[in-house]
Amino acid sequence: MNEMSPPPFLKFLETGVTKGCFETDDVLIALLPLMKQVLAAHEAGLVAPLNGIQDLVVAEQGHLMFVPAKVSSPEKNAAKVEALQSPVSHAVEVVAESRRTADIDESSLRVSDLGVGSADSGITKPVFLPNYRSWEQAIGHHDELTDIFSLGMLLASVACGLDFTDVGELEIFTVNRSNLFGVNRRLNPVIASVIAQMTELNRHKRAPDLAQMISRLENYREQAPDLDLNRIEGFKESGLTGRRRLIQSHLRDRLFEISRRNRLIYFKPTLQVLNLTVASVPLLLDYRNIRLEQLFVWHRELASTISQGAPVSLGKYLRFEDAPYIPGVLDKIISEARRDILHCCSCQWNSRKRRVCGTIMSWIRRQAKRRSTRHCGIILRNCTT
C-alpha cells in the first residue's frame, strides 16, 4: 500500500460521511463483527491490534476487521497506570479541564480542552490522544480494558462521523462526550450510552464487560432509553417551574408513542418484560398432565400470596430447564431495576417501580376493513426485583 494513501478505515469513514453519515444499523453492521472478533481474542487470553487504525481493514461484506494473525499477548505497566490515575484531590473530583486564551488585539477567545493531549509531549494524566490511540498504549500498557476503549473510540468515530486523526474533531467529541446528540441529533440513545461507558479515561469507570456492550448494541431496539435531562431543549436555561413543566412534558411523550397511543393499552412484548405464565408451562407430551398449581396463573394459592404482598418464589413456577431464555431476561430486568435505584437516589427522585400485570386483555376489531388485534395490560401491581 502506498505510504501516502490513507488507511482503509479513514477511506471507509470518509465515504460514509460523504453519503450523509452513518445511520444506526450502518454503524452496528460495521462495528459489531469487529467487537466480536476482539471478544474472541480476549477469550483466548490475547489482545487485538488496535494501537491506531493501521491494522484495520474493510471486509467485502462492508464491516471492519483485523487480520487474526496480528493478535498479541497483553502488555502490562500497572504501576504507571495507577500512578497516572491517582486523583488530584480526594475531596473534589475533577471531571474536565479547559484553557481559555483571549487575544485582546484581535478580540478573539479560544477555548481548548485539556483532556486532549499528545503522546509526543509525554503522558502526565489520562487524556484522549489523536490517531485512535489510548493513553495506556502510550505508556506501554495494553490489556482487555484498553481494547474496550479503542473500540469505543472507533464506535464514536463512525456514529458521529468524526475523524480522530484531526485534533479539532477529537476535541468536538471530548467536549460533547456526555451529550453526543449535540454532534449527531439522530444518534440512538443506546449507542450514545455505550460510547460514553466505553470511552471513560478512568479505567475504574470504564465498562469492563465487552460481551455486555455487544449484547446492548445487538438489542438496542428493545431497550428503553435513559432519562437524560440535558437532552431536553431549554432545560438548563429554565427556572424551577419551567423545568418541572419540561420534565412532565418529556415523561408524557415517553409514555405515548408518536401516534399518541398509550403503550400500556397498546402493549407489545419485548425483552424488557417476561411472561411468567408462558414461562411456567412445562414441555410435556400430553397437556392433560399439567396441573393447575404448577402454572403461574390466578389460582387460589398464588392469588393469596400476591394479595398479601408476600414474596413469590419464581423457581417454584418457572421452567428454567425448558426455557433457557428466562435467566437472561430476569438478569436484565434486575440490573435495570438496580441501575434505576442508584440513578434515582443520586437525583433524589422516587425510584421507578416494576409492575406485575395480572391480566392481558385482547381486543379484536372485527367490523373494520382490516381486522386488528390489540393487547393491553390491566390489574397492575407494583413489585420489587
Model pLDDT for residues 112-121, shown as the tens digit of each residue: 667 788 877 7
Our CA angle for 68, 74, 76, nearest 5°, is 160
Q: What local confidence, expressed as pLDDT, does residue 8 receive? A: 92
Q: Are 265 and 257 in contact (CB under 8 A)?
A: no
- pLDDT reading at 373 higher than 80: no
Q: Give the pLDDT confidence score for residue 225 in this predicted structure.
A: 60
Q: What is residue 375's DSSP assignment?
A: E
The answer to whether the CB of 172 falls within 8 A of the CB of 183 is: yes
Q: Name 3's Cβ contacts closer than 8 Å, sequence gap at least 6.
A: none
Q: Positive or negative CA dihedral for 236, 240, 243, 247? A: positive
Q: Are 381 and 353 in contact (CB under 8 A)?
A: no
Backbone angles phi, psi at 149, to 5 degrees: -65, -45
Q: Give the separation between CA 130 and CA 116, rounded to whole angstroms.
A: 8
Q: What is the pLDDT of residues 131-149, one digit of tens each?
A: 999 999 999 999 999 999 9
Task: Put residue 141 in one of left, alpha, beta given phi > 0 → left and psi -120 to 50 → alpha.
Answer: beta
Where residue 63 falls among pLDDT bands split at 50, 70, 90? very high
Lookup: cell for 52: 491506531
Q: Which pLDDT score, from 0 to 100, does residue 227 have? A: 58
How confident is residue 374, by pLDDT bands cut at 50, 70 and 90?
low
Give the tens place of pLDDT for each residue, 232-261: 667 667 778 887 887 777 666 655 544 555
Question: Looking at domain 8-79+114-223, does it have CATH number 2.60.120.380?
Answer: no
Residue-level pLDDT at 159 = 94
Task: Please provide the average confidence, as pLDDT, over all residues in the chain.
Answer: 79
Cell of 115: 483532556
Identify the CA nearest to 191 among candidates 19, 21, 32: 32
Query: Which pLDDT score, from 0 to 100, does residue 111 have?
Result: 59
Say which range, 102-106, 120-124, 273-277, 345-349, has the weakest mean pLDDT: 345-349
DSSP symbol at 1: -
Distances (CA, A) of 261 to 13, 253, 257, 369, 380: 39, 10, 5, 20, 18
Domain boundaries, the chain: 8-79+114-223, 246-383
Nearest CA to 34 among 151, 195, 145, 164? 151
Q: Which residues of 109-139 are buried (b: 16+ CB within 10 A; e: fewer)?
A: eeeebebbbeeeeebeebbbbbebbbbbbbb
Question: Most distant CA pair in the chain: distance in Å?
Answer: 90
Phi-psi region of 357 (alpha: psi -120 to 50; beta: other; left: phi over 0): beta
- Asked if residue 30 has pLDDT above 60, the reply is yes
* Contacts of residue 310, Cβ cutoff 8 Å, sequence gap at least 6: none
pLDDT digits (tens, 9 = 90+) for 279-290: 888 876 566 777
Distance from CA of residue 140 to its chain's centroid?
29
308-330 mean pLDDT: 82
- Residue 385 pLDDT more than 50? no
Provide the angle, in degrees to the nearest 10, between the axes of the packed helices 210-218 and 144-160: 30
**Is residue 90's pLDDT more than 60?**
no
Asked whether the predicted pLDDT for residue 162 surpasses 90, the reply is: yes
* CA separation for the pair 93, 205 (Å, rounded): 13
Q: Copy the grid coordinates of residue 270.
A: 419485548
Give the residue carrying C-alpha cell 437516589. 345
Higher pLDDT, 268 or 207: 207
Of the chain, the percentage scoring pLDDT greater than 90 comes to 32
Binned at pLDDT 50, 70 and 90, residue 33 comes out as very high
| Residue with more model confidence, 286 or 52 | 52
**Residue type at 247?**
I
Confidence tier at 378 by pLDDT (50, 70, 90)? low
In whole angstroms, give the CA distance from residue 87 to residue 54.
33
**Which of 18-22, 66-70, 257-261, 330-334 shows the highest mean pLDDT?**
66-70
A 10 A CB-CB count for 164 gives: 26
